[in-house]
Structure formats: C-alpha cells, structure tokens
Amino acid sequence: MSQNTTPPTAAMIVIGDEILSGRTRDSNMHFLAGELTRVGIPLTEVRVISDDEAAIIAAVRALSAAHTYVFTSGGIGPTHDDITAPAVAAALGAPIGIRDDARAILQAHYDAQGQELNAARLRMARIPDGAALIDNPISAAPGFILGNVHVMAGVPRIFEAMLAGVLPTLTGGAPLLSQSLRVDRGEGDIATALSQLADEYSDLSIGSYPFNRDGVHGTNIVVRGTDGVRLDAAMVALTKLVKE
C-alpha cells in the first residue's frame, strides 16, 4: 500500500451463489472496471466466489495484501446468506458487532418508511470496529471500508451509488488513455505488425479485438497508456504499419 511510490492497483471480489449458478448476470465488475480506469487505478484481478465464509476470508486476505484497493460486492443484506461483513472482519482480524452509527441510519430509514427495524434488518448494522461507513443513498444500509477493503452492496444501482461516494476518497494514478483504430483486415494479417509495435512501445498496452460484421473480417486495435505523447506516436506508427 505504498501508494506514493508504486502505481496503485485494484482487485474486486464478487460474492454470490446467484452469479456462479448462472441465475444472475453480474454487472458490477464491468461498471467498476470502467470507473477505476477513468481515475487511473487499474483493476488487475477479479474473483467471483460463493457465499462461503472460508472462501471470502481467503480471497480478502490474498487480494488485500497484493493490491492498493479491494472492492467487494454482494452479501451485505438482511438474510442468513449475507455473511460478507463478518467474514471480511474475520479476514482482517477486526471485532464486529451492531454499531450505533449504522443502527441510527437504519432506524431513521425504517421509521420514515413506517417499517420495523427488526432483528433481520439489524444485521445490516453489523460493522467492524474501526471501519468507515460508505453511504447508501438508495436503501440506507451502509457499506464500509476496513483497511483497504471496500465492502459494497450487490444490487447494481446500490453498488453504483456507493462507488460514487467512494471514488473521491481514492488516490488515483495517471489516468489511462486509449486510442483505437479499426482495420478491415483479419487479426492474423496484422499480427506481425502489432508485435513489432508492441516491442517498440513496450510502455503501452496494445490489444487487438477481431470482429465479423456483415461478412467482413476486421480488427479493432486499442492502444492504452498514460503518456499521451507516446500514445500519439504509437498511433502514427500503427497506421503506417497496417497499411504496409
């Protein structure tokens, strides 16, 4: 977590049997990836795991040690299978219990709705000692930040709202810039040229994505990096190479 000396990286843990069974299509990973890229924090690993305490603990320990920031989605609701909060606390050795600040937020929310803050809903006030709360403008129940782990909801619009509150607190790196070129030639026809370019511009990431549209084989070439001048130079070289 030496954020000032090495570029930041992020990892994500998607928690939920419903994703792994194919019932639900995860969208939080794609959303987080785009937002982090925008603020210059590359997402370099994602793990999707089941609602299982040992699996959560193992993933949190492995990823929080290896990355600047970790984000989790899922498993912080009121039901028996919502075990993310205590599992993250256990992974990082923090005590956890019903916390007054979180309880007050829930109490106000359910009072306003004329609903009871029952025992099940009170589970959502379980916050580890020392964690900072993450605001939930949709349904009140907060997420939290413990160490470098950001624990957020699985429901996409709540995840997205929580992330909006979290992003300004992160220390980003240089934003990742990208430029792309569409070529109406197959990947195999331009691969040698791309390989030359990748050798010459090893500070940039050069990806190629084949497509087939209306029977035409083509390739989108995407060049990414943090130095705009280098990126421009690579695009000029690329345009020349693929015309040869």
Site map for a second copy, 54-73, x if CB under 8 A? -x------------------
What does 202-222 look like in DSSP terms, one character per residue?
TTSEEEEEEEEETTEEEEEEE
Of 78, 76, 80, nearest to 131 by C-alpha is 76
CA-to-CA distance for 171 and 169, rounded, in angstroms? 7
Q: Which of residues 186-225 bind a second copy (CB under 8 A)?
A: 186-189, 191-192, 194-195, 198, 205-210, 222, 224
Of the two residues 94 and 176, which places its CB atom closer to a second copy in the complex? 176
Of 20, 95, 29, 16, nearest to 56 by C-alpha is 16
Of the two residues 94 and 179, which places its CB atom closer to a second copy in the complex? 179
Of 24, 13, 99, nearest to 52 by C-alpha is 13
Binding a second copy (rule: CB under 8 A), the pick from 155, 204, 234, 235 is 155
CA-to-CA dists, residue 28 to 32, 82, 192, 215, angstroms:
6, 18, 36, 33
Of the two residues 171 and 180, which places its CB atom closer to a second copy in the complex? 180
* In contact, 64 and 148? CB cutoff 8 Å: yes
Is residue 25 part of the contact set for a second copy (CB under 8 A)? yes
Is residue 6 part of the contact set for a second copy (CB under 8 A)? no
Is residue 85 part of the contact set for a second copy (CB under 8 A)? no
Is residue 226 part of the contact set for a second copy (CB under 8 A)? no
Q: How far is the CB of 130 from a second copy (least distance, A)?
A: 26
* CA gyration radius, the chain: 22
Q: Which residues bind a second copy (CB under 8 A)?
A: 17-27, 29-37, 42-51, 55, 77-81, 115, 118-121, 123-124, 155, 176, 178, 186-189, 191-192, 194-195, 198, 205-210, 222, 224
